[in-house]
């Protein structure tokens, strides 16, 4: 798709409906430091502020986000920190184990399944408008990893709750809006509730400059391409080691993500009782806060 076509779709509002439809469809159904990734920072009081702009899908790709499932839990043999094969609809050894534990009907088994459940993350390309903690990031394109809470705000902008609110496509260069990330420490945890979209406006007044930004985007499809995942057998071997060995290892810093969302429990292919979204989120926040404090 050409940049001119992207602008035409913006004026027609065609992408917004397409993105909403895709989310509705998908909802039915170990990491090292990466310089492509941007993260907000907080001060000593736990407050943080930044302004970013979600960018359109990269050239040749359909969606402006990628959806990733992963696991991060500790066993006798150390930490299991791996992306889940269920991201692409495949069988995953942790999901299979959790299904077995949950279906046993034993409460202690269900507790283990909860500890091992999936984490849901999203990735999008962003343009950093304002980053007081790291001004050198301003005017640059990054990948941004975020959780369900921010994704829900994105969806709310496309599907506003009240009829006097105009829907927008936050990923659009011309008809989108800057996203103000406001972080507060609430009960010891990072809280994004005050984050919000600014008024609708073009990112820049220069189409050529915006096209240059668009061409700097990173592939999202590549992030979740099956070739980027370990094989089932490799994950199974790692899982067996983590659950059976007695040599602990330090956690990967990348799992210490303050905003997380877990599907609860990590059950695939079976009908089971689900925890409430609030229970799931509280459990996840508590879990990763403990990691951050260790």
CA distance 135 to 24: 37
82-125 per-position pLDDT tens digit: 999 999 999 999 999 999 999 999 999 999 999 999 999 999 99
CA distance 185 to 85: 33
pTM comes to 0.74
DSSP-derived secondary structure letter, 60:
T
pLDDT tens track of the chain, all 294 residues? 788 887 877 766 667 777 776 666 555 444 457 899 999 999 999 999 999 999 999 999 999 999 999 999 999 999 999 999 999 999 999 999 999 999 999 999 999 999 999 999 999 999 999 999 999 999 999 999 999 999 999 999 999 888 888 899 999 999 999 999 999 998 888 899 999 999 999 999 999 999 999 999 999 999 999 999 999 999 999 999 999 853 444 444 343 343 443 333 444 433 333 443 333 444 444 444 444 443
CA-closest candidate to residue 119, choices 81, 168, 71: 71
Q: Which helix (H) or strand (E) holds 197?
A: strand 196-200
CA distance 161 to 158: 10
The pLDDT of residue 161: 86
CA distance 106 to 279: 20
Which residues are bridge partners to 263 per DSSP? none
CA distance 286 to 294: 13
Greatest alpha-carbon span in the chain: 61
User: Domains (ranges, CATH) in the chain?
Assistant: 3-293 (3.90.198.10)
Pairing of strands 37-38, 141-146: parallel
CA distance 291 to 14: 43
Structure tokens at 204: 């820049």
213 and 127 Cβ atoms separated by less than 8 Å: yes
Pairing of strands 119-130, 66-75: antiparallel
CA distance 239 to 213: 41
């Amino acid at each position: 798709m050409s940049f001119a076509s992207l602008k035409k779709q913006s004026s027609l509002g065609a992408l917004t409906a397409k993105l909403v439809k895709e989310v509705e469809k998908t909802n039915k159904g170990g990491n090292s430091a990466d310089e492509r990734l941007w993260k907000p920072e907080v001060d000593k009081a736990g407050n943080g502020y930044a302004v970013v702009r979600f960018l359109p899908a990269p050239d040749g790709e359909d969606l402006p986000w990628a959806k990733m499932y992963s696991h991060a839990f500790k066993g006798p043999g150390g930490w299991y920190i791996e992306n889940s094969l269920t991201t692409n609809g495949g069988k995953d050894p942790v999901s299979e184990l959790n299904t077995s534990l949950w279906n046993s009907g034993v409460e202690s088994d269900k507790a283990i399944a909860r500890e091992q459940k999936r984490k849901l993350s999203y990735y999008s390309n962003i343009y950093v408008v304002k980053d007081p903690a790291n001004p050198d990031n301003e005017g640059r394109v990054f990948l941004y990893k975020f959780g369900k809470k921010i994704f829900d705000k994105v969806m709310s902008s496309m599907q506003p709750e009240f009829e006097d609110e105009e829907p927008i496509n936050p990923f659009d260069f011309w008809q989108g809006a800057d996203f103000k990330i406001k972080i507060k420490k609430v009960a010891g945890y990072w809280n994004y509730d005050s984050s919000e979209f600014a008024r609708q406006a073009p990112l820049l007044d220069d189409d050529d400059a915006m096209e240059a930004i668009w061409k700097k985007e990173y592939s999202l499809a590549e992030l979740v391409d099956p070739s980027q995942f370990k094989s089932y057998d490799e994950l199974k071997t790692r899982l067996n080691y983590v659950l059976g060995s007695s040599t602990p290892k330090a956690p990967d810093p990348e799992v210490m993500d303050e905003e997380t969302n877990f599907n609860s429990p990590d059950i695939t292919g079976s009908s089971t009782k689900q925890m409430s979204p609030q229970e799931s989120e509280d459990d996840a926040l508590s879990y990763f806060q403990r990691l951050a404090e260790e």
